[in-house]
Structure 1
Amino acid sequence: MDLLSRPVLVLDLDGTVCLGDTPVLLYAERVAAFVDAPEALLELAGAFLGNQLPETAPKALIGAQDGYEAVRILAVAAGVTEEQLSTAYVESRAAIGEHPGDIHTPAGLVDLLAGLDAHRVVLTNSPGDGLDAILEHIGVRGVIDEVVSDALKPTRMRAHLDTFLAAAGATDTPERLMSVGDIWRNDLAPALERGCVAAYVDVFDRRQGPAHVRAESLVDLYAAISQWSRDPSSFIEANPRKEPVRC
């Protein structure tokens, strides 16, 4: 990687670059094959995605970070094992290439990425199988410089960030890397620990932790991403990390 003159933009995939319910629904379908009451699991997963959970839904679902976590909560309660969950996830990711359904990017994302003078990375826990097909389908493959699959976030996130910073000659200037994502513990907490810029796509208004900029939609962060890419040092001075405000 020759990044020495460019800042590094690290983008999460699901819930950030790739939107739509299809990936979670495919996962839920495969998880449901392991439970005694598959219809109930699928109904609750759909209700979570539609923000229409019934009063009888398990309380744990209310705090789920995204649809994947909601399905996992339901699955574990039904006795699904970690191995079965892993199998369901891998199979569902491979299936997206054949059945992309409603997956799409936020409006204007391709134009934003095309206009940035930055090294653009998609960093995802998704397996490599089927990933290129997903990126091609949503139209971002041509505006992404690097794709890292099987990232094992959050466990390996700090190591990934250090690799990018070293390649960019930015070990001592970590503000030259911005991490953008919708799961605070996966995408943002490690970036903040390293001194990088954190842009929080807080879709469900969870307010899990601090960030330099935060919005409920990636679209609302476009201006901040552009400003950061032009002058990371000035950006972080103007946008110090902010603690979440509880209403």
Structure 2
Amino acid sequence: MPLSAPCSARSQSSVTGTVVFDFDGTLCLGDGPVRSYARHAYANLAPKPRYEAEKVLDDYLDDSLPAQTLNTYGWQDGYDVVAYFCRDHMAPSQLQNAYLASRTDLARGFTTSHIPSGMKDFLRKLGALGCRRILLSNSPIIGLRETLERFALTDDFDAIVPDASKPSQWPSHLQAFTKQSASEHLLSIGDYWSNDIAPVLAAGYEAAYIHGCKSPGTHPRATYQAPELPDMYDDIIKGCVSWQR
């Protein structure tokens, strides 16, 4: 499993645990990237289905869709919404090309995005506690790399893993990460339950779920959960301190 990284000089024996971050919806926030994806994908739709797709995406991003609709379709993020409305109207390769075009937009700064408040300080605190900080994303490196550079976060990660194929490749990622850190402690942070949280909990590790507007009681098994990542900073830091005992 390739790791692209500015690797820290920290020895394996000094690592107290591993904290794994998702990218979209966790580190990279804002509707700009998914709206860019929709713009490229919806260009392949006829006017009527395009209007419906745009309306539902707007409602989803505005948190105005009925809970029954969300439960019926199981959408976990805006990318799911876009894919749902396009899957019967275009080849998978067309949808993939739309996604890659949106990543190019992100790389060039054509879409607006931001990081969670206090993120840089949070990453530095984790590093000071001996945590190995890994960015693990299904996104390709294009767009991801430039976003980290734009927000001066590249050097705050010990490893960057694009094209991660979550959730299917979690077993190999977990094996590699714990082996590299010489510690069995691992926490995954993300906003997509089936990609970032469920496989890690099932393997016996910890997870911090960013549930946004969704009910906090939806997934009571998460180690930590809150509407936004900064709401969990203090609890996560306390948890990582306990890894040192």
What's the TM-score, normalizing by structure 1? 0.83
Matched, 1:216 2:214: no
CA positional deviation for 1:155: 0.7
Give the equivalent residue in structure 2 for 1:65: 76
| Counterpart code for 1:179 | S
Q: Distance in 1 between matches of 2:97 and 2:228?
A: 31
Give the equivalent residue in structure 2 for 1:121: 134
| Counterpart code for 1:41 | A
User: Are the equivalent residues in 2 in contact too, given 1:8–1:119 (CA < 8 A)?
Assistant: yes
Q: Deviations over 1:147-175 (max 9, x none)?
A: 100001001122111100111123xx3xx
Matched, 1:25 2:35: yes
Alignment of 1:57-206 (within 5 A): 63-76=74-87, 78-116=88-126, 117=129, 118-170=131-183, 173=184, 176-205=185-214
1:75/1:209 Cα in 2 relative to 1: closer, same or farther (>3 Å)?
A: farther
Question: Which 5+ residue runs of structure 1 have no aligned equivalent?
Answer: 235-247
| Counterpart code for 1:137 | R
Q: Distance in 2 between matches of 1:112 and 1:84?
A: 38
Give the equivalent residue in structure 1 for 2:12: 3
User: Are the equivalent residues in 1 in contact too, given 2:105–2:111 (CA < 8 A)?
Assistant: no
Structure number with the bigger relative contact order (C-alpha 8 A, sep ≥ 6) is 2
User: Are the equivalent residues in 2 in contact too, given 1:180–1:198 (CA < 8 A)?
Assistant: yes
Matched, 1:52 2:64: yes
User: Are the equivalent residues in 1 in contact too, given 2:107–2:142 (CA < 8 A)?
Assistant: no
Q: Bigger shift: 11-20 or 91-100?
A: 91-100
| Counterpart code for 2:150 | H
Give the equivalent residue in structure 1 for 2:4: none
RMSD value, Cα? 2.4
Q: Classify the secondary structure of the residue corresponding to 1:222.
A: helix
Q: Distance in 1 between matches of 2:44 and 2:71?
A: 20
Q: Classify the secondary structure of the residue corresponding to 2:225.
A: strand
1:100/1:139 Cα in 2 relative to 1: closer, same or farther (>3 Å)?
A: farther
1:224/1:3 Cα in 2 relative to 1: closer, same or farther (>3 Å)?
A: farther
Q: Classify the secondary structure of the residue corresponding to 1:106.
A: coil
Q: Distance in 2 between matches of 1:67 and 1:232?
A: 35
Q: Distance in 1 between matches of 2:143 and 2:61?
A: 23
Q: Distance in 2 between matches of 1:82 and 1:192?
A: 31
CA positional deviation for 1:93: 1.0
CA positional deviation for 1:54: 8.3
What's the TM-score, normalizing by structure 2? 0.84
Identity of aligned residues (%): 32
User: Are the equivalent residues in 1 in contact too, given 2:28–2:113 (CA < 8 A)?
Assistant: yes
Q: Distance in 2 between matches of 1:84 and 1:225?
A: 40
